Structure 1
Amino acid sequence: MAKKPTPARRRVLAALLLVAVVAAGLGWWKARTWLPDREDYPVQGVWLSDDDGAVDWRLLRAAGADFVYLTASEGTGTRDSRFAENLEAARARGMQVGAVHAYDLCAPADAQAANFVTVVPRDKDLLPPAIALDIDSRTCPEAPGEAQMQSELTTFLNQVERHAEKPAILMVSRGLEKRYHLAAMIDRNIWVSQDYLEPGYAGRPWVMWTATDRLRLNAARGPLRWVVVQP
């Protein structure tokens, strides 16, 4: 028969359990409030989409957002009807603004470019357009081969960059980069993503980094994606 823990041992176990609970709570709180150091990354901002809902632009600016990227369009048919409204609201708070297109690997490049330029005005003061690239089995169950993917993406970039009159930024996920090696194949600035630690999966220097997608601020109802610029 197993011996019952002595009172002293029970106190030790209880203390260890308390330490573990406190550490977990601190870790959870830190994940929700962590921001990259301003001394390391002087320029910081946020990437927003429809899913983030209404935003208090005053509080967002006060939290340290120097710029915002707004998801303007996705694939061939999804558009942010509030893009123009949010663009003006962010600018009214002194923030620079850029537009994001969520690229669909299975959709025609021409139609995706048309979707983007329908939403995003030709405005020299906008930041370079950003193209979010990921492998999504929901919208593209059979991702194209490398040659086809690069050909379609090049067509898309040519049309979007002609509209924006500046080169785009490629926002490449780890999974997509592993499969297609875009950072080495297409000469564009790179935007990478990884919580808390600088990622190296692009294989070359990045210009923008989504440093956390868990940040909680009073400016929005849910977690936000916080982005820094390489100094």
Structure 2
Amino acid sequence: QIQAQNFIETVPKKLDALPPVIDLEYDSNCINTYTKEQLLEEIKVMHDLLKKHYAKQPIFYVSKSFYHIVLLGSFKDTPLWIRDYQEKPQLKDQRDWMFWQHTNQGKIQGITKPVDLNVFSGSQRQWQYFIEQNKQAPKP
């Protein structure tokens, strides 16, 4: 709940903004300290608070391993942004992903350090639809 409140206080609520992204990563302390059920409950609290505040479905940014260990079978309506630097992501449950971060070593003219590169899973038309859907005022 504290992280959700910090997010809400930091990220402005704008009609034309993309949905909030929840970065779900862990280290061994996280997995060894909390059960899967505890993690899912914490994730649900943040997800629901952000969804209510921004009136947009959040997106989960995750590694394949985090998805398989923690999220598999949960939050089926929440879009996924998968980080996989080895290969195009294929999840055990064949779930689709919306975004794929395929490298953190990208090069862009004018930026001296490596950058993350991502792709959208869809056509130009589907991307436009995604953008337009997220510009609409929430339905009462």
Indicate the TM-score class for this superposition, using the shorter chain for normalisation: 0.7 to 0.9
Residues 128, 169 of structure 1: 8 Å contact kept: yes
Q: Across the two proteins, how many residue pairs are aligned to each other?
A: 120
Residues 170, 190 of structure 1: 8 Å contact kept: yes
Structure 2 counterpart of 1:111:
2
Structure 1 counterpart of 2:79:
189
Structure 2 counterpart of 1:226:
117
Shift of 1:201: 3.0
Larger Rg belongs to: 1
Query: Do structure 1's residue 130 and structure 2's residue 21 form an aligned pair?
Result: yes
Structure 1 counterpart of 2:90:
200
Structure 1 counterpart of 2:51:
161
Structural mapping, 1:25-104, within 5 Å: none
CA distance in 2, matches of 1:143, 1:199: 28
Shift of 1:143: 3.8
Structure 2: where are the runs of 5+ without partners? 123-140
Query: Do structure 1's residue 177 and structure 2's residue 67 form an aligned pair?
Result: yes
2:11 counterpart letter in structure 1 = V
| Aligned residues with identical type, % of pairs | 26
1:142 counterpart letter in structure 2 = N
User: Which secondary structure does the structure 2 equivalent of 1:131 belong to?
Assistant: strand
Structure 1 counterpart of 2:32:
142
1:190 counterpart letter in structure 2 = L
1:164-195 Cα shifts (integer Å, max 9, x gaps): 11000111112212321x14211211111122
User: Which secondary structure does the structure 2 equivalent of 1:128 belong to?
Assistant: coil
Normalising by structure 1, we get a TM-score of: 0.48
Shift of 1:196: 6.0
Distance 1:205 1:190, change over 3 A: same
User: Which secondary structure does the structure 2 equivalent of 1:142 belong to?
Assistant: helix
Structure 1: where are the runs of 5+ without partners? 1-109
1:226 counterpart letter in structure 2 = L
CA distance in 1, matches of 2:92, 2:20: 19
1:53-92 Cα shifts (integer Å, max 9, x gaps): xxxxxxxxxxxxxxxxxxxxxxxxxxxxxxxxxxxxxxxx
